[in-house]
Amino acid sequence: MNKTCSLSFLLLLLFHHLTAAKAAIGVSIGTGGVGVGVGIGVGNGGGGSDNGANSPGPSGSSSVPKHDNSYTALQAWKSAITDDPLKILDTWVGPDVCSYKGIFCSNSPQDATTSSTVAGIDLNHANLQGTIVKELSLLSDMNLLHLNSNRFTGTLPDTFKDLVSLEELDLSNNQLSGPFPTVTLYMPNLIYLDLRFNSFSGTLPEQLFNNNLDAIFLNNNQFGGEIPQSLGNSPASVINLANNKLSGNMPISFGIIGSNSKLREILFLNNKITGCIPQGLGIFTEMQVLDLSFNSLMGHLPDTISCLQDIEVLNLAHNKLSGELSDVICSLRSLVNLTVAYNFFSGFSQQCSRLFNVGFDFSDNCIPGRNMQRPQPECSVIPGGSLSCLRIPTPKPIACISLAASLNSMHTDHSSSSP
């Protein structure tokens, strides 16, 4: 990396000696190899960007000056837009891409006086119809790409791995389809990935939860298959997997393998997840919202839920969970909304009545003497009777601090055993 940086720097110096023209440089030292490629291009280009009305040169060629790269990219995209009801692209004419509606420029970090580069595209709610073209990957200084609420179809081009500066990618509420766009996993600086409300399908890649993403929104797609075992590795604070077709058990390692416990919100609602709720869940001591509703989870709740000291909303509705809701759960100090409707719970402890004034929905369970419960015949066979997660509840809160360590050793001891 050091080598690459100094090479970029040398090229930059060289360039300054070669041309006095006020050309757009836009070489970012941080961008490594890509920066070098562009740097060479600028040197050869000889300041052509002052004359942007001229032909922008061969598309995708590395001998095109940086500023013209932006022009090339955005004009290629413009011609792939088939409907623009708000007439936004009417402003996309001429060489000054920074004046285009939705395009935001910033000065290049190397040369604040002479050049500016495309730092962001914000076309949220533009209602554009078309595709996302490969030429956009020429915008290698771009930090933000916000395209939510448009009508883009197809998927992301593989060339998008060249978007080495991209930190936020919001493609939500479009008509994108195909498998998970793995190119997003190769964007080294991406921290916000929003693909929700599209038609992506297929399985989620293992690498997704190993990357350094802080927010992962995949809800309302057609993703299927099992949730990758790497889930617990994710350093994200928000993960939304709701309204997909994910199936199989929750990863047993969830909460165990990860040393990162920054997760504040995770939503699994409305998938096809089966089996037990893993013990490791209690490790997420910063969790505020946990939604497991509308799945097929069975068995008793793990007592480790009592370690979720910051949990505010816990939604377990519409599963096949059973057992009693114990004091250790209902006395969680931040809990304001506990929803367990449509399960097979057979009772709740004294502490749970504390929640009556805030939010506690226990309808359609098997709780004797309470209103709005399942008809008795439905309660005669509790689902998941053969599962090992019909755990014996502990009367006292478990020692949450040592939880991580004990779960870790448990996991190592039994890692090869299967139910």
Ligand X SMILES: *[C@@H]1O[C@H](CO)[C@@H](O)[C@H](O)[C@H]1NC(C)=O
The verdict on 359 binding ligand X (CB under 6 A) reads yes
Cβ 220 to ligand X, closest distance in Å? 16
Closest to ligand X by CB, 7 or 313: 313
Cβ 337 to ligand X, closest distance in Å? 4
The verdict on 155 binding ligand X (CB under 6 A) reads no
Cβ 291 to ligand X, closest distance in Å? 6
Q: Which of 376, 394, 388, 242 has the alpha carbon at shortest distance from 318?
A: 242
Closest to ligand X by CB, 204 or 289: 289
Single-letter code of the amino acid located at 28? S
Closest to ligand X by CB, 159 or 337: 337
Assign 3-state DSSP to the chain and report helix, strand, coil percentages, each to 5: 30, 20, 50
The verdict on 337 binding ligand X (CB under 6 A) reads yes
Closest to ligand X by CB, 62 or 363: 363
Closest to ligand X by CB, 190 or 335: 335
Residue nearest to ligand X (CB): 359
Closest to ligand X by CB, 229 or 363: 363
Closest to ligand X by CB, 219 or 253: 219
Output Rg (C-alpha) for the chain, integer angstroms.
27
Cβ 315 to ligand X, closest distance in Å? 4
Closest to ligand X by CB, 115 or 339: 339
> ∠ CA 64-68-73 to the nearest 5 degrees?
100
Cβ 265 to ligand X, closest distance in Å? 12
One of 253, 339, 343, 373 touching ligand X (CB under 6 A): 339
Look up residue 170 and give its two tokens. Answer: 């919001």
Q: How many residues bind ligand X (CB under 6 A)?
A: 5
Residue at token pair 């994710």: 234
H helices of 145-247, in order, are: none
- Which residues from 277-316 bind ligand X, rule CB under 6 A? 313, 315
Q: Which of 350, 359, 354 has the alpha carbon at shortest distance from 395?
A: 350
Cβ 389 to ligand X, closest distance in Å? 23
Single-letter code of the amino acid located at 304? T
Cβ 219 to ligand X, closest distance in Å? 14
**Cβ-Cβ contacts under 8 Å for 28 (sequence gap 6 or more):** 35, 108, 109, 110, 140, 141, 165
Instruction: With beta carbons less than 8 A apart as the criterion, state whether 135 and 76 touch.
Output: yes
Measured between alpha carbons, how far is 295 from 238 in angstroms, rounded to an integer?
20
Cβ 156 to ligand X, closest distance in Å? 32
The verdict on 363 binding ligand X (CB under 6 A) reads no
Measured between alpha carbons, how far is 134 from 158 in angstroms, rounded to an integer?
7
Length of the chain: 419
Residue at token pair 């956009």: 136
The verdict on 319 binding ligand X (CB under 6 A) reads no
Closest to ligand X by CB, 93 or 358: 358
The verdict on 221 binding ligand X (CB under 6 A) reads no
- Which residues from 9-68 bind ligand X, rule CB under 6 A? none
Measured between alpha carbons, how far is 381 from 31 in angstroms, rounded to an integer?
61
Cβ 240 to ligand X, closest distance in Å? 13
Q: Which of 253, 302, 263 has the alpha carbon at shortest distance from 285?
A: 263
Cβ 313 to ligand X, closest distance in Å? 6
Cβ 245 to ligand X, closest distance in Å? 21
Closest to ligand X by CB, 263 or 267: 267
Distances (CA, A) of 145 to 165, 169, 219, 339: 11, 5, 19, 37
Measured between alpha carbons, how far is 205 from 129 in angstroms, rounded to an integer?
28
**How many Cβ atoms sit within 10 Å of the Cβ of residue 415?**
11
Look up residue 76 and give its two tokens. Answer: 């290629």
The verdict on 343 binding ligand X (CB under 6 A) reads no
Measured between alpha carbons, how far is 331 from 335 in angstroms, rounded to an integer?
8
Q: DSSP secondary-structure letter at 44?
A: H
Closest to ligand X by CB, 338 or 407: 338
Instruction: With beta carbons less than 8 A apart as the criterion, state whether 119 and 144 touch.
Output: yes
Binding site for ligand X (CB under 6 A): 313, 315, 337, 339, 359
